[in-house]
Amino acid sequence: MKPFEANFINGLSLSAMSAWEFFENGYTSALLPLALGVFFWARTNAMKNPNNRIVAHTVVIFTFIILICLIKPFVNFMRNDEVLSGIRTLIMIATCTFAMIVYVQSFMDARKIRLAAQEPVV
pLDDT at residue 101 in the model: 96
Q: Summarize the confidence of residues 20-41 as an average pLDDT.
A: 92
pLDDT at residue 76 in the model: 93
Q: Summarize the confidence of residues 21-44 as an average pLDDT.
A: 92
For the chain, the 3-state helix, strand and coil shares in percent, each to the nearest 5, are 85, 0, 15
pLDDT at residue 51 in the model: 82
Residue 29's CB: how many other CB atoms inside 10 A? 12
pLDDT at residue 121 in the model: 60
Q: How confident is the model at residue 20 (pLDDT cuts 50, 70, 90)?
A: very high
Residue 95 φ then ψ, to 5°: -70, -35
Q: Supply the Cα-derived Rg of the chain in whole angstroms.
A: 17
Residue 56: pLDDT over 70: yes
d(C-alpha 66, C-alpha 92), whole Å: 9
